[in-house]
Amino acid sequence: MTGHLVSAVKVGKRYGTLQALTDVSIDVSAGEVVCIIGPSGSGKTTFLRCINQLETIDAGAIWLDGELTGYRRVGNALRPLSEVEIARQRRITGMVFQRFNLFPHMTALQNVTEGPVQVLKKRPDRAREDAMALLERVGLAHKADVYPAQLSGGQQQRIAIARSLAMRPKLMLFDEPTSALDPELVGEVLNVMRDLAGSGMTMIVVTHELAFARDVSNRIIFMDEGRVVESGPPEALMTNPREQRTRDFLRAVLAPAPTSGAPAGEAAR
Amino acid sequence: MADMNNPPVDATAEEVDVARLPHIRPRHYGRITAVVAILVIGLFLIRAFAVGRIDWTTTWQYLVWPSIVWGLINTIWMSVACMVMGIVIGVSCAVARGSPNPVLRFTAIGYAWFFRGTPVILQLLIWFNLALVFPTLGVPGLWSVNTVDVITPAVATLLGLGLNEGAYTSEIMRAGMLSVDRGQYEASKSIGMSYTQSLRRIILPQAMRVVVPPLGNEFIALIKTTSLASIIGFSDVLRNAQDIYYDNAKVIELLMVAAFWYLIVVSVLSVGQAVVERRFGRGFSSSDKQ
């Protein structure tokens, strides 16, 4: 596991009788951009949520930046860490949600400064400066004093990205960041993500945007029924997949939609 | 179908004629009747009280009578203290209700069950008569006091009304916290916030928006409920008004004094509630739209 920023080994997760994840093993090196694709219910979002401990895992282990997450080895067993320890470990990762989850009672700027001021105990004026730079970076400095309800979905998602970046994470997790957006707003969010990838940020992106996955990622992982089916460089995986299931999925997603104008993401559901 | 921008050219002369007529506003005869009825009843009431056997100069004279003002102050501080106690207990219980720990959860449920299940007047009487059960209070062997010295009417009222208020407030708070989207907890966790930080900074401020109107209701009810405490000897404004009329037999005059002050306090409170509502409505109200 040395050298990898994320190292997941034989991760398992079950909800009651549903086995959501089985033996998922994935390594991600620093600077890598990895896209996870797969049909809905394939466990890709669950896996992402396990990495930053919004879900606890039942089997296996995940290391982030060399540190075992969520548990501490005591003899021959893994003991869960305290809430405070887990909160500290979460700071390594930033998370961008499908439905943005901006804090509606705070302005765009306050959303971005909240973490640095409350969690990192930065001085408010410093946090403000940094936040403005981040808003500038996502192209929304002019919306600093606006509440989320007054912003479009695409703008909200860009603020959400800035909010995560403000914590200076080593790893950014994106959970279907464009799935809740109107088609014409998808581009602006993908552009911000493309810039971020270009700046060397390590990213794991759960997405239905295959074009983005092909252009931006270093590696695509295809998941189905809670398992990693195959993974590889985007070009190879998309043009010449080894597994039948991958082929079926790609054909279903890439096939021209029966009614014109339906985006590719719709067909994948 | 005819073009919408050009009137149909084949309209008859009569149609064109009718279309030119002025439009008259409808008459609301029902409303007019109601307004007249209200005015008549209103005038009748004013006249009745003016010529009735109420000595308004006495009412006026007692409006700022020392014991009335003192009672008013007691009513206000007791209401505020009970409400603060109620909110603190209410938030704690609402959080306990959401805890994965069954002991905490059932303690909160049991508390609300007991204090909502018995009349508040009975609870006041129990607190006031606590000395019958426990003649002394304290840590055995270390320190103790006589219960009658500690449980004064004011303390019994604070405990009785405050604990009762906490039970009701806990349900209001729980509803408010349930109204906040799960994604908000997750987003606050994802930026490294602890549970208490996310409650304080993210969840409760949003819950407040939902919770303020019913809390205002509770506060108003509480102000009037303090008058119940007069049965255990707490000197609120109503009790002190009664003490005066037992003496001078100006019953209605002094009840009017008390009514006046309750209305004033509740009015001021309603204004305060509107301000608080606006404060917690930030980012939600439609007036924020640009």
Instruction: Report residue A219's pLDDT band, with 50, 70 and 90 as the boundaries.
Output: very high
Percent of chain B residues topping a pLDDT of 90: 70
Q: Which residue has the tokens 């007047």?
A: B121
The model's pLDDT over B204-214, given as tens digits with 9 standing for 90+, comes to 999 999 999 99
pLDDT of residue A262: 45
pLDDT of residue A231: 94
Instruction: Please answer whether residues B78 and B236 qualify as being in contact, where contact means their C-beta atoms are separated by less than 8 angstroms.
Output: yes
Nearest-by-CA chain A residue for B198: A118
| ipTM score for this prediction | 0.89
Which residues of A lie closer than 8 Å to B, measured between beta carbons? 52, 54, 83-84, 87-88, 90-91, 93-95, 97, 99, 101-107, 114-115, 118-120, 146-150, 160, 163-164, 166-167
**What is the rounded average pLDDT for all residues in chain B?**
90
Instruction: Report residue B56's pLDDT band, with 50, 70 and 90 as the boundaries.
Output: confident
Closest CA to B285 of A81, A237, A105: A105
Backbone angles phi, psi at A256, to 5 degrees: -60, 130
For B226, residues 6+ apart whose C-beta sits below 8 A from its C-beta are B74, B75, B78, B79, B82, B157, B161, B234, B236
Asked if pLDDT for residue B162 goes beyond 90, the answer is yes
Percent of chain B residues topping a pLDDT of 70: 95
The model's pLDDT over A99-108, given as tens digits with 9 standing for 90+, comes to 999 999 999 9
Asked if pLDDT for residue B148 goes beyond 90, the answer is no
Asked if pLDDT for residue A188 goes beyond 70, the answer is yes
Closest CA to A218 of A33, A39, A22: A33
Asked if pLDDT for residue B10 goes beyond 90, the answer is no
Q: Which residue has the tokens 């019958």?
A: B132
Partner residue facing B202 (CB), from A103, A146, A167? A103
Asked if pLDDT for residue A259 goes beyond 90, the answer is no
Asked if pLDDT for residue A82 goes beyond 80, the answer is yes
Residue A122's CB: how many other CB atoms inside 10 A? 18
Asked if pLDDT for residue A58 goes beyond 60, the answer is yes
Mean pLDDT in residue range B263-284: 90
pLDDT of residue A258: 59
pLDDT of residue B145: 85
pLDDT of residue B207: 93
Instruction: Report residue B121's pLDDT band, with 50, 70 and 90 as the boundaries.
Output: very high
Chain B residues whose beta carbon lies within 8 Å of the beta carbon of residue A149 = 283-284, 288-289
Percent of chain A residues topping a pLDDT of 70: 94
Q: Cβ–Cβ of B209/A94 closer than 8 Å?
A: no
The more confidently predicted of residues B2 and A93 is: A93
The more confidently predicted of residues B289 and B56 is: B56
Mean pLDDT in residue range A127-154: 96
pLDDT of residue A265: 45
Mean pLDDT in residue range A78-84: 92
Q: Cβ–Cβ of A52/B190 closer than 8 Å?
A: yes
| DSSP string computed for chain B | ---SSS--TT--HHHHHHHTSPPPPPP-HHHHHHHHHHHHHHHHHHHHHHHSS--HHHHHHHTT-HHHHHHHHHHHHHHHHHHHHHHHHHHHHHHHHT-S-HHHHHHHHHHHHHHHHS-HHHHHHHHHTHHHH-SEEEETTTEEEEHHHH--HHHHHHHHHHHHHHHHHHHHHHHHHHTS-HHHHHHHHHTT--HHHHIIIIIHHHHHHHHHHHHHHHHHHHHHHGGGGGGGT---HHHHHHHHHHHH--HHHHHHHHHHHHHHHHHHHHHHHHHHHHHHTTTTSGGG--
- B194 close to A (CB below 8 A): yes
Which domains can be identified in chain B, with CATH numbers? 76-234 (1.10.3720.10)
- Candidates A105, A112, A179, partner chain B, best to mutate (most B CBs within 10 A): A105
Asked if pLDDT for residue A226 goes beyond 80, the answer is yes
pLDDT of residue B289: 45
Instruction: Report residue A266's pLDDT band, with 50, 70 and 90 as the boundaries.
Output: very low
Q: Cβ–Cβ of A97/B186 closer than 8 Å?
A: yes
pLDDT of residue A257: 60
Rounded to an integer, what distance in angstroms lies between the CA atom of residue A185 and that of residue A1?
A: 38
Mean pLDDT in residue range B162-170: 96
Highest mean pLDDT among A156-165, A236-245, B235-244, B272-281: A156-165
Mean pLDDT in residue range A129-151: 96
Supply the pTM of this predicted model.
0.82
The dihedral of CA A138, A127, B189, A93: what is its sign? positive
Q: Which residue has the tokens 């179908």?
A: B1
Q: Beta strand A77-80 with A71-74: parallel, antiparallel or unpaired?
A: antiparallel
pLDDT of residue A256: 67
- B100 close to A (CB below 8 A): no
pLDDT of residue A264: 46
